[in-house]
Structures are given as structure tokens and as C-alpha cells.
Structure 1
Amino acid sequence: MGENSPRVLVPQTWVLTARILRRWSRDPATMVQSLVMPAGFLVALDIVLGDGIEQVTGHSALYGSVPLVAMVGAMTGAIIGAVGVMRERDEGLLSRLWVVPAHRASGLLARLAADAVRITVITAVVLCVGLALGFRFRQSVPESVLWLFVPAIFGVALSAAVITLALWSTSTIVPQATEIIIALLMFFSTGFVPLDQYPGWLQPVVEHQPVSYSIEAMRGLSLGGPVLEPMLGTVLWSVGIAAACAVPMAIGYRKASRRG
């Protein structure tokens, strides 16, 4: 089989994915940022806003704040992966991997697969904290299982966008600047406060941005309510971002791997 044979893509992607996951698991800063900080943020959010939102909506604020924190964890972790790509490019690791008989697509796919695993683990941790605070699923088991994987849909697409920026940048300032966008998506979403609490002119923006779509889909899967429309919005946003980044990311990874 040739090095670019489809039959070698899956096993080689798995090997490189496991490498990335081991590296993250051995980095205390990454573990704290990925697991401890979202759990602490959820507790703080519930203490500060929980009672007020429950009085307005008539149900626990956790049905919005738990999905919100899961989405924030999914998005902020994308910066970790992007900085890691830049470090491996500057250290020459990408160049060394490029000359070994490995499938050309395995490197990029491994990073996206590792992000999917990371996001799912973060979501599970946030869910456990939410359950301890009183969050409960009121739907069937299939909906509960699907709930766990919703953040990964948009999170992986965002990771692709941030990695694309990193591959075309010479400084970590550019991918780290995406924290501003992440903060805007977090604060102006239906997970932070209910939609009707925003000014009328801002409500359409809040309602139709990707994080709000994901939160509403997760709310419907746990508490009950519309699921199809917000899930479709999440998928469309994710596919659009991934499609826009596919070619620039592939070209950028190729250039970074042949650097030096």
C-alpha cells in the first residue's frame, strides 16, 4: 500500500491523535484550562445568575448555563491546539513528520480528531458538575446521549478556523486574539441570559449566532422544546466554517510541513 492509500489513513490518524492527547494530558496548564476552569466557571455562573434567571424563565438556569460552559470549553480549547501547531512548526516536528511514509492528511485529521475527543471530555466533566448542582435530563436516553456531542459539532469547526489562522501566522497573538470573538459569542448568547432580556435590535443577532443555536439544541434535548431548527443551525454554521477553511488549512499545513 502507498503512503497515501485510504487503508492507512485511519490507523495512522489514530496514532497521531493518541500522540496529541498524551501530550495534552501531561501538560498541567492544559489540563487546568480544559477541565478545572470550565467547572469553576459553571459554579460561579450558577451562584451569580442562577436565581435571577430561574425567576424570569420558570426553570433552572442550569439548562442554559451548562450548555454555555460546555461550548465555552469547546471554543477556548481550540486556541491550545492552534498554539501547539505553531510550536511544532517552529520546532521542525511538522517537517520531520512530512518526510516519513505517512498519509498526508493524517496530521490534520489527527488534530481535529483530538479536538473532538477533548471537547467531548470537557462536556462530560461540565455535565457531571451540572448534575451535582441540580441539572437533570427530562428527555429519553437517545436525546441525552446526543446532548453530549453537540458541542463537538461547532467546536471542531472552530478549531479548524483557529488552526488555519495559526498556520498562516508567525505570531501566537493572531490565534489568541480569537478569545475576543469567543467572549462575544459567550456573552451575547441565549445561555448567558434569556433572549428577551437583550435589546430588541440585538435579539436577531443573539438568536441566530452559532453558540445560541447549539445551546438551544442542547436545551431542547435536556429540558424539552425545539431541537430540529437549532440543530440545523448549528450544523449549517459548522459546515460553512469548515468549508471556508478546508483549502486554506490544507495549503497552510503543507507549507508549514515543508518549512526548512
Structure 2
Amino acid sequence: MTPTRVIPDSDRPALVRSPMPVPPAHTETWSRLLPQTLIQTRRLLLRWRRDTVTMMQAVLFPALLLIILNSVLGHQISSYSGMNALYGTVPMTTLVSVMSGSLAGAVTLGRERDAGLLARFWVLPVHRASGLLARICAEGARILLCTGLLFGVGVLLGFRFRQGLPAALALLGLPLVYGLAFATAVTAAAVYTAKAALVEVISLGSSMLMFFCTGFVPLDAYPDWAQPIVAHQPMSCAVDAMRGLSVGGPVRGPLLATLAWSVASMVVFAVPAAIGYRRASRA
């Protein structure tokens, strides 16, 4: 038997001795963040559009609520307050649409986590931040679309922008700030809790905000003990600011209060939402 000859490392070709070049890790390349975020944003918007329950919660239910409130309580509220009730109910139902859509988006996030879709995206060569940024962008697009549709229904019922174009743009932008803050809190809850508990708790909280809100009935129609709570809860602040931007009245105080509530919510829940999303993606 011919003995096997061992070739020393010094005699081996340089191509064999040198390690294989490692391709650059493009999962964290910032130049790829924008296109990958846009692709995932489009995926989420298409999924929500094809989900009947999501569309009903985000658009149909608030539109029907606006029409019913205007038909049943509109005349009584207008006579009581001396102002068209639409300037309270249109902002209120717009915010209800924002919250309902965020809840539907959180349920979708929970389904993708349980199905392992988030984990599949995590191992793909995509930027780690693109998934969470895509959800923020998709939420913003949904909020703007639903806001425009609800204000369109309000205009058909008699709602008008009486403070000029800048105020109208601010009026349309305020639900975006409120909605992104609410979506941040809901996302943080969605990545840590089960879907059933999430829906029950957030639906109850949203209903309480709506019924104890200055957009539902005027502030002085509530009992004395409830008026401080109603006046300073975030939904009432947003409704009062939107009323002032549409028909006139105090704007600065309610607007600053809404921004304070929104910024505080983002600061408190942004980091837990990011950490929870990362954990859910790696599960």
C-alpha cells in the first residue's frame, strides 16, 4: 500500500490556505432600511385591506356610529349646547376609528407571532428595524385614510372646516399624533399578552374613553364628580382641540394637553414595544 503523502501548509496553494471571504452583513445596512420598510408596509396594508374585520372596525363601525349619534342625539345635543353636535361627534368617532384600527392591527400582530411569521422574517436577510418601522408607517397610512373617510362622512352630514386651511390641516394631523401614541401602547401590550385578553381590556378602555368624553355630550352634562376626569382624559383633550380647529374656541390648552398625553405614551411604551417585538420575532 502506497503511503499517503501529507502536504505541509506552506506548500499548499494560497487559495486553499486563505479563508473564504465573508460577505458583508447587509441585514443592518442603512441603505436597505427604506426599501425593505416600504415593502413590509405595503404587505401590511394589503393584508389589512383584505381583512374584512379590520376594515369594519376601522371604517364601517365608526361611520355607522357617527350617523346613529347624529340621528338620535344630534338635535338634543345641539339644542343643549347651542352648537352643532357634529363638531364633537365627528372628532370623537374619528378617534374611535383610530383606536379600533390599532386594536385590529394588534390582533394581526399577535396572529403573526403565534404563526411564526415574525420568526421567519427575523432569519431573513432584512434590516432588523424594518419590521417595526413598517408597522409604524402602516399605522400612519391607515390613520390618515380613515381620518379622511370619517371627515368626508361628517361633511356630508353638515360638518364644515370654518377656521381656514392651516387649521384644517392641523385638524387632520391631530388624529395621526393621537393614533400613533395609542398604537405604540397597543403594540407594547400585544407582544406581551394573549389576543383574547388584549381585545377585552383595550375594547373596554376605548369604550370608557368614548362614553366619558366631551365629544359624546357637553362637559356640564356629566355629574360633578366625573367632570374633572372627563375634562382631562386624553380623548376629551383631542376632541376639544379638534373642535376649536374646526368651528372655533380654545385650541392652545387642549392641543398642548393632547401632545403631552401622546408624547408621554410614546416615551413610556416605545422601548417595551421594541423589546417585546424583538423577543416575539426571535421566539
Q: Give the shorter-chain TM-score range.
A: over 0.9
2-structure distance, mates of 1:188, 1:245: 24
Shift of 1:118: 1.0
Q: Give 2:150's aligned amino acid.
A: V
**Pick aligned residue for 2:177 from 150, 153, 159:** 153
Measured against aligned partners, the alpha-carbon deviations of 1:21-72 in whole angstroms (never above 9, x if no partner) come to 0111112222222211111110000011111111122110000000000000
Shift of 1:89: 0.9
1-structure distance, mates of 2:195, 2:52: 20
Q: Give 2:192's aligned amino acid.
A: W
Q: Give 1:63's aligned amino acid.
A: Y
1-structure distance, mates of 2:198, 2:133: 19
TM-score (structure 2 length as normaliser): 0.88
Q: State the match for 2:153 in structure 1.
A: 129
2-structure distance, mates of 1:28, 1:167: 23
Q: State the match for 1:194 in structure 2.
A: 218
Q: State the match for 2:111 in structure 1.
A: 87
Shift of 1:95: 0.7
2-structure distance, mates of 1:196, 1:105: 47
Shift of 1:3: 2.6
Greater C-alpha radius of gyration:
2
Q: State the match for 1:213 in structure 2.
A: 237
Q: State the match for 2:190 in structure 1.
A: 166
Aligned 8 A contact 1:160 1:249 in 2: yes
Given the alignment of the two structures, is residue 68 of structure 1 paired with residue 87 of structure 2, yes or no? no
Shift of 1:17: 0.9
Aligned 8 A contact 1:68 1:192 in 2: yes
The alignment of Structure 1 onto Structure 2 pairs a total of residues equal to 258
Shift of 1:78: 1.2
The more displaced of 6-15 and 106-115 is: 6-15
Moved segments of 4+, more than 4 Å: none
2-structure distance, mates of 1:6, 1:202: 50
Mapping of 1:1-260 within 5 angstroms? Answer: 2-169=26-193, 171-176=194-199, 177-259=201-283
Q: Is there any run of 5+ residues in structure 2 with no aligned partner, and where? A: 1-23
1-structure distance, mates of 2:127, 2:43: 16
Q: Give 2:218's aligned amino acid.
A: P
1-structure distance, mates of 2:42, 2:34: 12
Shift of 1:10: 2.5
Q: Is there any run of 5+ residues in structure 1 with no aligned partner, and where? A: none
Aligned 8 A contact 2:57 2:104 in 1: no
2-structure distance, mates of 1:133, 1:228: 27
1-structure distance, mates of 2:167, 2:202: 31
The more displaced of 106-115 and 4-13 is: 4-13
Q: Give 1:16's aligned amino acid.
A: Q
Partner secondary structure for residue 215 of structure 2: coil
TM-score (structure 1 length as normaliser): 0.95
Partner secondary structure for residue 3 of structure 1: helix
Partner secondary structure for residue 81 of structure 1: helix
2-structure distance, mates of 1:238, 1:73: 17
Aligned 8 A contact 1:166 1:174 in 2: no
